Structures are given as structure tokens and as C-alpha cells.
Amino acid sequence: MLEVDHLNKVYDSHGRRVEAIGDLTFTVPEGQFACVVGPSGCGKTTLLRTLAGLLPPTSGEVQVLRRRVTEPPAGLAVVFQEYGRSLFPWLRVRDNVELPLRAQRIAKARRRELADEALAAVGLAGTGSAYPWQLSGGMQQRVAIARAIAYQPRVLLMDEPFAAVDAQTRADLEDLIRSVWQRLGVTLLFVTHDIDEAVYLGQRVVILSAAPTRVADDLDIDLPADRDQLTTRADPRFTELRSRVYAQIQKVKADPPGKEG
Amino acid sequence: MTLLRRTLLALGLPVLLVAVWWWASAGSTDFYRPALSTILAAFADTWTWDRVRADVLPSLARLAAGYLLALTGGVALGVLIGGNRHVRAFLEPLLEFLRAIPPPVLVPVFILLSGVGDRTKVLVIAFGCVWPILLNTVEGVRGRDEVLSDTCRTYRIGGGLRLWHLLLRSASPRIVTGARQALAIALIVMVISEMIAADNGLGFAVLQFQRGFQIPAMWSGVLLLGLIGVLLAWGFRWAERRMLGWYYGQRAGRREW
């Protein structure tokens, strides 16, 4: 599970002080699929990097699996937006997936098994011996997802993972992530700027305000667990929820919390 | 077809120049500028197996030792400096100073410190050619991709795996660039070091021929050094293609998209 408690992050560089995150508090219970949306520049990536232990908070704290985060926590995996840069270009696909397992000193046979399973789960069985740069963008992001799956995390963070792939691939990857989440039972925090994507994927959508960021709204997505690109997106409830999220985001954009005081 | 064309292109200019040299120097009576045919005849007479064993192999051994020393030392120090900005700030002024010293100047100094033997020559070669390796390694390590660094941190990839798969492999294209420059410098410093207080080696031999007025032999020594340079460059390119296959593949792929 994830707990964000009065998180505040101020960037202070070259005499310019930017409050990226004002005061953020929310909890993602064990096993939940939570999406975080917000206007651009609202500190979504900052939040994710803080949760991943890549960035220390200015004040407040974050907890992952009931431990205060001071460094990248064990049992947490991240899928970055820049799939092309998060894979090792000098390693073949299988070795990319296996590298975190090698760092955990998992035996070779078991590593191979986990990597094969993970690659099969993302539909990339048989591409293990290719180099990442020989694959298309969507396939590269699948490799990054396979690497996260093979790592067997309890918490999975995704930072706009599909922002840079084409629409068709994106729909496929969205369904892939739903099925991965259902199968692994991980706690999943999915950061996106795409409202439709957030509503389609999540059990819950946390809407952030513009910087300095707070939680503007927190919606339960009471769509059926079995989701489908055609029927779910045509569901009147889906349309209603996405309209609500959209209206909220328009509101926070027009009305930044800084001005309210 | 392309292979044939490439070979013709690569060999065209050397063949042309040799032909011009041959034609222009034919029948030369100038003592210092003998005919190419005379030089080639001297080449065959001079570089016999005994001579190769006495002069060429010791030179190449010193070259290899000095170059490998520079390669390991430069990469090790480069990773240390590139991986930590405090170490970098601390060592940079000293390195700038050392780098500015022309390596041949150090031959007399090293002779005083470690004698006239092979050790001095190996050290001078290493000192002379370490800089491009060191500086390129530092830049390569510093320029590693941030997303890849974050990936290593979140997946808790540390120690030797991080050293190899993040730092060294990231820096490897730059290291290879530095190593290529270093190889050319190493050859030059090798020859110079053998011209001062030496009793064998290619540089020593060429200087002896010149002093003994064996002019065709002297020219043949220069030719041999050029040939060694070409062979080393070929060998280097072969090794580079093998090591950086991923790099060229990635770059070719990017251009396609």
C-alpha cells in the first residue's frame, strides 16, 4: 500500500523557488488500481519520483508497504514514460528483463523462467534475443512492463507510460495493464494526463490541482471489473465519470489553489 | 559489388600515391631520396626475422604494455571521476596540469626515476596516451542517461552490475573514441621514447640507420611504422565493431524512423 502524508516539495534552484507540490495527502490501499490525473505541470511526476524514493520530500512523508521512503523501496517497480531510455540498449530483451533479478541474486534457471513468463504475459514470447532498439516503441514499452512483472513487485508505479505510443498500441497496452494488475494483485499507481485513460483503467481516480498541488477530487470508478475498449467506453456511466473528471480539471485549471489562498 | 567498390575506393589513393612515388623516384641518384624500388629492396633485406625479433617485437611489446596500462588506468580513474563530482572538482586542476606536459619531456625524468629499461618506456607511453582515454571516460560516465540511472536505482541494481551495465557500457562509445586517439599517440610516444637512451626498438633502428647513412633502410623503417599504424587501426576498428554493435545498430535504427 501507499501512503502520502502532507507531502510538500519545493524546488529551489538558482534563486528560483517553485512549489511543485503544496500539501498532498491520500492513501492507496493494498491491491488497488489508482490513477492520478491533473493539469500539466501539476507535479505528477514529482509525486511519483518521491514515492519511488528517487526524490526526497521537502516536508511531509510518503510510505510504501508501511515503511517510510528514504531510498528506493524493495518490492516496488517503476515503468517510466521514456521507454526508449529506460531499457539498456546494450542488453538483449531477455537480459534487460533479467537484470533486476540478477541484482537480487536469483538463480539463473529461476531468472530465465520469470523472464520467459513475463515476456509471454506481455505478448513478446520469442523476442528475448532481440535488442530493444530493434523493436517498435510499443514493444519497447512492453519490455519495460515485462521487466516490472518479472521483478514480482508488490507496488507498481507507472509514469504516463503510454504517452509516447500511437493510439492503437495504447489501447492494447491499457488492456494489458488491466490484465497484469488483475493477475498479480499489485497495488498500482498510474499517473496520466489522459482523462479517458484514467477512468478506463482505474478503480479510482485522484485528481490533482494545479501547482502548488493538492488533491482536488477523489473519485471511485464504479465500472465493472471486466472492461473492454468498446463496451466500457460506450457505457453511460463511463461517459458520466469522464465528464466529472474533465469538469474538475477545468475547474482547477481556471482556479489554482494558490489564488484561493 | 559494394564490397568491390569499397575496396577500390579504400585502395585507390594509396595505390595512386605509391605509383607516383615509384615513377617520380625511378632512377634517382639523390643519396637522401633513393628510388622507391631501392627502398623496397632495402625493406626486404632489413626487416628479416632476426631484425623483427630484435627491434619490432620489443617495440610492439612496450607499445602493448603502455597502451593497456593507460587503458585500464584511464578507464578506472575516469569512472571514479565521472561518477563523483567531488572527486572531479578535487582532481581536475592537477589533471589539467599533467595533461599539459608533453610526454617526450618526461623521458629524461622517468630515466632518472626508473632507469633506461623497458619500464621507463612503458610508463612514458602510458602517460602520453592516457589522457584521451581518461577524459573521454569521464565525459561518457557523466553523460549517462538519467532515466537509466533511475531505472538502476528503483530496481536496486548496484555494485558490480551497476558499474558494468550502467557506467562502463554507457561510457563505452566515448571510451572507444578516446582509445582510438590514444593508440595513435601511443605509437608516436613509443618511437620517441626509443630514440632516447635505447638499445633496441623501431625508433632506435630508424635513428641508427640515419646516423649510419643507411638511407634506404631508414626509409624502410618509416614505411614499416606506417604499416604498423594501419594494421593497428584495422585491428582497432574490428574490435570496435564487435564491442559497439548495439551502438551502431541503435543509431542506424534511429535514422530510419
Task: For residues B6 and B129, give the distance between their C-alpha atoms in angstroms, rounded to a whole number.
Answer: 31
Task: For residues A115 and A175, give the distance between their C-alpha atoms in angstroms, rounded to a whole number.
Answer: 20
Distance from the A90 Cα atom to the nearest Cα atom in chain B, whole angstroms:
5
Domain holding A50, by residue range, is 2-75+154-260
A interface residues, B as partner, C-beta within 8 Å: 49, 52-54, 72, 74, 76-78, 80, 82, 85-86, 88-91, 99-100, 102-104, 131, 133-134, 147, 151
Nine cell digits for residue A249: 480539471
What residue of A is the nearest CA neighbor of B154? A72
Whether the CB of B161 is below 8 Å from some CB of chain A: the reply is yes
Same domain flag for A92 and A11: no
Same domain flag for A148 and A163: no
* Opening angle at CA B191, ends B187 and B197, nearest 5: 145
Task: For residues B235 and B228, give the distance between their C-alpha atoms in angstroms, rounded to a whole number.
Answer: 10
Nearest to A86 among B151, B161, B246 (CB): B151
Whether the CB of B255 is below 8 Å from some CB of chain A: the reply is no
Q: Which CATH topology does B51-243 take?
A: MetI-like fold (1.10.3720)
What residue of A is the nearest CA neighbor of B252? A133
DSSP state of A134: G
Q: Which residues on chain A are in Cβ contact (under 8 Å) with B249?
A: 131, 133-134
Number of domains present in the structure of chain A: 2
> Of the residues A136, A152, A168, which one is the last residue of a structural domain?
A152
CA-based nearest residue to A7, from A27, A33, A34, A29: A27
> What is the structure's pLDDT at A39?
83
> What is the structure's pLDDT at A258?
52
Q: How far is CA B254 from the centre of its chain?
A: 31
Q: Cβ of B172 and A90 within 8 Å?
A: yes
Amino acid at A145: I
Task: For residues B94 and B149, give the distance between their C-alpha atoms in angstroms, rounded to a whole number.
Answer: 29
CATH of the domain at A191: 3.40.50.300
Q: Which residues on chain A are in Cβ contact (under 8 Å) with B150?
A: 49, 52, 54, 78, 80, 86
> What is the structure's pLDDT at B184?
93
User: Can you give the pLDDT of all 261 residues of chain A as single tens digits?
Assistant: 899 999 999 988 888 888 889 999 999 999 999 999 988 777 888 999 999 999 999 999 999 999 999 999 999 999 998 888 899 999 999 999 999 999 999 999 999 999 999 999 999 998 999 999 999 888 999 999 999 999 999 999 999 998 888 888 899 899 999 999 998 889 999 999 899 999 999 999 999 988 788 898 899 998 988 898 889 999 999 999 999 999 988 888 776 655 443
- pLDDT tier for residue B1 given thresholds of 50, 70 and 90: low
Q: Which residues on chain B are in Cβ contact (under 8 Å) with A151?
A: 155
Q: Would you kindly state where each structural domain of chain B is located, as residue ranges?
A: 51-243
Distance from the A19 Cα atom to the nearest Cα atom in chain B, whole angstroms:
23
Whether the CB of B22 is below 8 Å from some CB of chain A: the reply is no
Q: Cβ of B249 and A76 within 8 Å?
A: no
Task: For residues A127 and A110, give the distance between their C-alpha atoms in angstroms, rounded to a whole number.
Answer: 19
Task: For residues A205 and A184, give the distance between their C-alpha atoms in angstroms, rounded to a whole number.
Answer: 20
- pLDDT tier for residue B180 given thresholds of 50, 70 and 90: very high
Same domain flag for A182 and A196: yes
Q: What is the pLDDT of residues B39-67, one digit of tens each?
A: 999 999 999 999 999 999 999 999 999 99
> Of the residues A152, A173, A190, which one is the last residue of a structural domain?
A152
Is position A173 within any domain? yes
Q: What is the pLDDT of residues B119-130, one digit of tens each?
A: 899 999 999 999
Nearest to A89 among B146, B161, B246 (CB): B246
Same domain flag for A176 and A66: yes
Is position A80 within any domain? no
Which residues, in sequence order, are CB contacts of A16 under 8 Å at separation 6+? none
Residue B90: how many other CB atoms lie within 10 Å:
11
Q: Write down the ipTM of this complex.
A: 0.89
SS3 for A146?
A: helix
What residue of A is the nearest CA neighbor of B164? A90
> What is the structure's pLDDT at A259?
47
> Of the residues A152, A171, A193, which one is the last residue of a structural domain?
A152
Task: For residues B186 and B130, give the distance between their C-alpha atoms in angstroms, rounded to a whole number.
Answer: 9
Residue A135: how many other CB atoms lie within 10 Å:
20
User: Which element (helix H / strand E) includes A254?
Assistant: helix A236-254
Q: Which residues on chain B are in Cβ contact (under 8 Å) with A80?
A: 147, 150-151
